[in-house]
Structure 1
């Protein structure tokens, strides 16, 4: 696969000359195999991370639930992001890394079609991390009901590739 290149970066593709919002017409583009990988992390207290590792979180298996949430989000991205095309998802991979005071999630999405899957990978990461937060929020709250440590950070696309089909 080769890196996607955008030769018309100065052209606004989601807005008409009259300022109206539009979905980009990708009908004339060739089908390509595409893959995008996004990553993000959630900061947690060390005791919460240990509870995740030991499968001791009251609500259940945090990472299994977050994995399901991430995959579900990937499949429904077109419903939550305006002007995002509904694309055929051919594969989703989720990889969690449980570190001392954080959980890192990487989501890889693959499709074959006329448009990329970066937004799907990002949706998978953000939703997966939100599910982690939801599953552990009781353990993360302080005496005042606040979250002084918990935070989702460093969400971004780490790679994207495409290859024109023969």
Structure 2
């Protein structure tokens, strides 16, 4: 069954969803982004020899800052007082995987905040590393899990 799009009015125009009558509940979300890069660059990253500095500290701060500003970046997104934002980085064979987690006691979900954190952290890594490898690919930006709210829980692992 396809759900009705909540950000459209009866004439199909964009609108911000009214959440005023909803009760706040604990909302959580996790997301990820992948950054593929050359072997040469990945070696520089592993040895913390990227010219612009510690890419993980800087991109973690960028991701947290972005999550807190999501409503300024995404039209119709509610401003949510986040209680927690976490970013973890995993170095794999030819890529870095960023996993994010967001939590708030809110009337609406924090999926966009988790996705924004992953996206901006990936863009920050790209910016800090582009001098070495212009062929960097940012991909697989996706919601992994969502907990709470009227639409229920979602887990990508359990998706058919």
Out of 91, 102, 106, the residue aligned to residue 98 of structure 1 is 91
CA separation in 1, counterparts of 2:107 and 2:27? Answer: 9
Q: What SS is found at the alignment partner of 2:139?
A: strand
Alpha-carbon distance in 2 for matches of 1:80, 1:105: 20
In structure 1, list runs of 5 or more residues that go unmatched.
Answer: 1-7, 142-146
Which ranges in structure 2 are unaligned for 5 or more consecutive residues? 151-160
Q: Which structure has the bigger radius of gyration?
A: 1
Following the alignment from structure 2 to structure 1, what is the Cα–Cα distance between the partners of residues 59 and 127? Answer: 9
In the other structure, the counterpart of 1:84 is 77
Of residues 147, 151, 154, the one that matches 2:140 is 154
Q: Could you tell me which residue of structure 1 aligns to residue 59 of structure 2?
A: 66
When normalised by structure 1's length, the TM-score is 0.86
Alignment correspondent of 1:20 = 13
SS of corresponding position for 1:84: coil
Post-superposition CA distance 1:76-98 (Å, at most 9, x none): 00001000000010001110001
**TM-score scaled to structure 2, two decimals?**
0.89
- Partners in 1 of 2:26 and 2:3 — Cα distance? 25
Give 1:20 deviation, angstroms.
Answer: 2.6
How far is 1:153 from its partner? 1.1
CA distance in 2: counterparts of 1:9 and 1:71, whole angstroms: 33
Root mean square deviation, CA, Å = 1.6
**Equivalent position of 2:4 in the other structure:** 11
* Separation of aligned partners in 2, 1:15 and 1:78: 18
Query: What is the aligned length?
Result: 150
